[in-house]
């Protein structure tokens, strides 16, 4: 888990890990691959194949069905697609495992509650069993009881597919659920005064 206050750089670090932004200097390696050295198209392909993303705002296509939202990564990641015998059946299985009614598969994602949309976003990240799941503040909009139930489901599914989970939060209470917790601190440096 990556822990830190708002503005400490947690989301920026996730963007570096996912290859969405590149470092000004140095290298970024993920699962043994130096992603900062890849060409943009190769970096995009690596991200699609290797990383399941759960965005803070979920980034679902509101007018598309839940099934289409869950299956979307398989269109861009042939290796993830190859690990799924029957994509629609796997989407239904993930819905059941995440406590979403199977009937939701045909509904528009935008018609779901926030908690249901969050579970769709997790199902989308998990489909095709990517080795790394990256979740940016996935519990920030949930009350304590819903947060606990959601995290229980998330951890169970991450274990089921054998993935690693990197989650960002500003809530230190969640750290007890993780094997490792890294704290990001904001360092404020005073501006230097011009010498006269």
pLDDT at residue 190 tops 70 = no
pLDDT at residue 75 tops 70 = yes
Average pLDDT for the chain = 88
So what's the pLDDT on residue 191? Answer: 52
pLDDT at residue 149 tops 90 = no
Tell me how far apart the alpha carbons of residues 100 and 93 are, in angstroms, rounded to a whole number: 10
Residue 14, C-beta contacts closer than 8 angstroms, at least 6 positions apart:
2, 134, 136, 166, 168
Confidence of residue 33 (pLDDT cuts 50, 70, 90): very high
Q: Where are the domains of the chain?
A: 59-174
Average pLDDT over residues 29-57: 92
**To which CATH superfamily is domain 59-174 assigned?**
P-loop containing nucleotide triphosphate hydrolases (3.40.50.300)
Confidence of residue 148 (pLDDT cuts 50, 70, 90): confident
Greater pLDDT, 144 or 92: 92
SS (H, E, C) the chain: CEECCCCCCHHHHHHHHCCCCCCCCCCCEECCEEHHHCCHHHHHHHHHHHEEEECCCCCCCCCCEHHHHHHHHHHHCHHHHHCCCCHHHHHHHHHHHCCCCHHHHHCEHHHCCHHHHHHHHHHHHHCCCCCEEEEECCCCCCCHHHHHHHHHHHHHHHHHHCCEEEEEECCHHHHHHCCCCEECCCCCCCCCCCCC
Tell me how far apart the alpha carbons of residues 182 and 149 are, in angstroms, rounded to a whole number: 23
Average pLDDT over residues 164-189: 84
Tell me how far apart the alpha carbons of residues 151 and 115 are, in angstroms, rounded to a whole number: 12
> Tokens 């799924």 sit at which residue?
84
So what's the pLDDT on residue 187? Answer: 59
Residue 106, C-beta contacts closer than 8 angstroms, at least 6 positions apart:
65, 66, 67
Average pLDDT over residues 21-49: 92
pLDDT at residue 56 tops 90 = no
So what's the pLDDT on residue 193? Answer: 52
Percentage of the chain modeled with pLDDT above 90: 55
So what's the pLDDT on residue 192? Answer: 53
- Write down the pTM of the prediction: 0.86
């Amino acid at each position: 888990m990556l822990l830190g206050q708002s503005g400490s750089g947690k989301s920026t670090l996730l963007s570096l890990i996912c290859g969405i932004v590149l470092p000004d200097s140095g290298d970024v390696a993920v699962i043994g691959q130096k992603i900062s050295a890849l060409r943009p198209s190769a970096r995009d392909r690596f991200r699609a194949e290797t990383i399941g993303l759960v965005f803070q705002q979920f980034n679902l296509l509101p007018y598309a069905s839940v099934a289409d939202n869950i299956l979307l990564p398989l269109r861009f990641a042939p290796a993830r697609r190859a690990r799924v015998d029957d994509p629609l059946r796997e989407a239904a299985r993930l819905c059941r495992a995440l406590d979403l009614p199977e009937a939701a598969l045909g509904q528009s994602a935008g018609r779901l509650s926030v908690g249901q949309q969050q579970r769709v976003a997790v199902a989308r990240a998990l489909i095709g069993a990517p080795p790394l799941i990256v979740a940016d503040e996935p519990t920030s909009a949930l009350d304590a009881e819903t947060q606990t139930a959601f995290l229980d489901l998330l951890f169970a599914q991450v274990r089921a597919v054998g993935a690693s989970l990197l989650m960002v939060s500003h809530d230190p209470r969640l750290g007890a659920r993780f094997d490792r917790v890294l704290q990001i601190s904001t360092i404020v440096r005073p501006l230097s005064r011009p010498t006269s």
